Chains A and B, each alone.
Chain A
């Protein structure tokens, strides 16, 4: 017993790394769920909040530590069993462990199930939708996330996107007011958290909506306390000093206020760029926006004239739209790991938002169906990313080796000689090696992949067929036991076969090993080139999809 105990201890310490990992995972998920803002986790600017929620979660983590240990243990022990042949000893330990731990675990789990569902029902009943108009900017940002990390309410993003896309050349833009009832309707939609498609509306309605939102902010963007400092700064006669003063005050603005101000100013600068068409000069814009944003003309003028110094580093980003599925239910992903990660982050935020909405009971009809699709896109991205990363990992050491030895190139050329039939597909853009090598890689890939990739069936099937066994490979895989009496003999048969299969594969592996060491080198290259080709296709397909999607959206707008 004592030896077993110490063994358990050992496992625990071994588990610690796994546990940490699980803890993190869990933590992040908790954070997402509880704060309803997965996105906050990734923004450096919200770091302070992150720390706060971390300490909360710490408690929770401690509470459920036992439970997680059990999970961690079971998973680890399974892994170890796979890894080594030492099965019996471990399973004994496991018996011991799950006997005293299992009941608690079970009880804990059933508790959480019922608690969660109760909480959800309550949530659904309360239908907690908060408006975004007329509330503090910070709350509005929380309430209506942009999902891509920019701390602005979605309404600002969508209005700016719309005007930048369709309205910059509209004469009298922001001056001419839109139809009031439509603006009101849009406001209600945003307030109730319903999705809105601004494309259906006139630019004047959209600009009116944006102004209405800014007007209804409880406080000026410049904030009550800093407003006087802005005024003072704008009164400084010396140009350089004035700019410096401004930078100082701007720096003191809360993050979301600063973001809003910078986006609005930059957007208005874009409007100004089209002033010869839309007739909106600085004066005109200032007349419109000064009362709306409660910023004096003088301050406004300073912000406009020095915008490059104040906000030059800020770039307006288009509000992301979820990727669309094509008719076969496939989605075309961007190539390039960074773009992919960006998309992944966005879609995960979207997914979280959908889950939140569902749990709150405010989700629009059809969200449950969409959930599957968005989830599938996320899954696909994760897979692609994982693959891309593993290819990168493999490629890195390989390329170093490649620099050292030319013999590899030599060998690959040889293999090209042997194989007269193949014609490489040259889709190679990699820079490291030169084109000739890559052609070779393609060829070697073609002839060797079936073996090296060790697609189980390819390798094993021939040998199995050769064995004098009463059962053919297909029959091995599906056995239907109709009568209980048959169970025992079949079981025996099964284990025999198992052993045999293992032996066969062992032999196979020894034979392969030598080939593999060389071939695996080639394989890395061929994988890389294949990946590139894939990404190329994906990119072109994506472009096509975007075009189609835009057409579709335009068609489907008018209701």
Chain B
């Protein structure tokens, strides 16, 4: 079994975390199927796989969309252990969801205690960036890198590397359901493969020809 797996392309496991209702599933489905979901249906857990080429290499990305609610924490933990990288989503319109990102980070570190903080790719994503009127998490706050917490990864960022990508995709059919997100990622994250996958998941997919869907 393991032999066949090695013959296949690499599989990278990415996990979406974040409080309930911040748009993890929306982001995931957008990446997977270019699809917008309109109805709010809490996720328990969902897993997807997508084959993409990254810098000419074919890789498979497994995305696990988790529940934001703590009721499912036990289920989440089981996945955390096998996850490689973590995409932590918050909503810029909800201060609380931003504050919770710290807790998620800590929980991940607890589960993956055999790895140091630097070894776990972790990417912070501010979703719903188009809802500027309802913004609660200011750009300055994010840029200062004060949150999430005292994470070394964020602090270590040289100023010039502190990069903001703005992602937006056209809403499907209904105009006011844009999803835009502001990912904040560290230089360190970017140097890893998973980091680059993150980058490409979130940035416009085909703009640089880096990450293109197979089939």
Contact = CB atoms under 8 A, between A and B. Distances in A.
Interface string A475-508: 0111111101001001100110010011001100
Contacts of B128: 78
Contacts of B163: 480-482
A460 B174 CA distance: 12
A91 B203 CA distance: 28
A71 interface: yes
B177 A375 contact: no
A372 B170 contact: no
Interface string A25-66: 110011001000000000000000000000000000000000
B114 interface: no
B134 A91 contact: yes
A102 B100 CA distance: 11
B74 A359 contact: yes
Contacts of A302: none
Contact of B107 (A29, A113, A454, A478): A113
B78 interface: yes
B69 interface: yes
Given A33-B74, A87-B133, A88-B133, A22 B95 contact: no
Interface residues of B, number: 69
Contact of A478 (B134, B176, B207): B207
A466 B34 CA distance: 24
Contacts of B100: 106, 109
Contacts of A76: 40
Contacts of B177: 82
Contact of A477 (B77, B133, B207): B207
A358 interface: yes
Given A109-B70, A110-B103, A117 B167 contact: no
Contacts of B72: 29
A30 B67 CA distance: 14
B204 interface: yes
Interface stretch (B43-51, B117-125, B190-198): B43-51
A78 B20 CA distance: 12
Contacts of B136: 95, 98
A481 B166 contact: yes
Q: Which of B60, B95, B175 has the most CB of A within 10 A?
A: B175
B170 A456 contact: yes
B71 A474 contact: no
A379 interface: yes
Contact of A74 (B46, B47, B94): B94
Nearest to A84: B176
B32 to A, nearest CB: 10
A545 interface: no
Given A379-B46, A379-B47, A456-B169, A368 B82 contact: yes
A479 B75 CA distance: 36
B10 to A, nearest CB: 12
Given A375-B47, A456-B169, A81 B134 contact: yes
Interface in A106-134: 106, 109-110, 112-113, 116-117, 120
Given A25-B42, A91-B93, A368 B74 contact: no
Given A87-B131, A371-B82, A478 B4 contact: no
A431 interface: no
Given A106-B96, A368-B82, A484-B143, A116 B74 contact: yes
A404 B47 CA distance: 44
B168 A476 contact: yes
B168 A91 contact: no
A331 to B, nearest CB: 10
A224 interface: no
Interface in B85-140: 91, 93-96, 99-100, 103, 107, 110, 128, 130-134, 136, 139
A369 interface: yes
B20 A109 contact: no
A75 B95 contact: no
A327 interface: yes
A269 to B, nearest CB: 39
A376 B47 contact: yes
B70 A113 contact: yes
A479 B166 CA distance: 5
Contacts of B82: 368-369, 371-372
A539 interface: no
B176 A26 contact: no
B13 interface: yes
Contact of B40 (A79, A81, A95, A454): A79
Contacts of A78: 21, 40, 91, 93, 128
Interface in A79-98: 79, 81-82, 85, 87-88, 90-91, 94-95, 98
A420 interface: no
A105 interface: yes
A279 interface: no
B152 interface: no
B31 interface: no
A500 to B, nearest CB: 12
A82 B174 CA distance: 10
Interface string A432-465: 0000000000000000000000111101100000
A274 interface: no
Contacts of A477: 167-169, 203-204, 207
B20 A376 contact: no
Q: Which of B73, B78, B131 has the most CB of A within 10 A?
A: B78
B150 interface: no
Smallest CB-CB A-B distances: 7 pairs: A456-B170, A375-B47, A75-B21, A376-B47, A91-B134, A477-B204, A379-B46
Given A375-B47, A490-B166, 4 more contacts: A88-B133, A378-B46, A481-B163, A482-B163
12 contacts: A71-B69, A78-B93, A98-B94, A117-B107, A359-B78, A371-B79, A372-B13, A382-B46, A456-B169, A456-B173, A478-B167, A482-B163
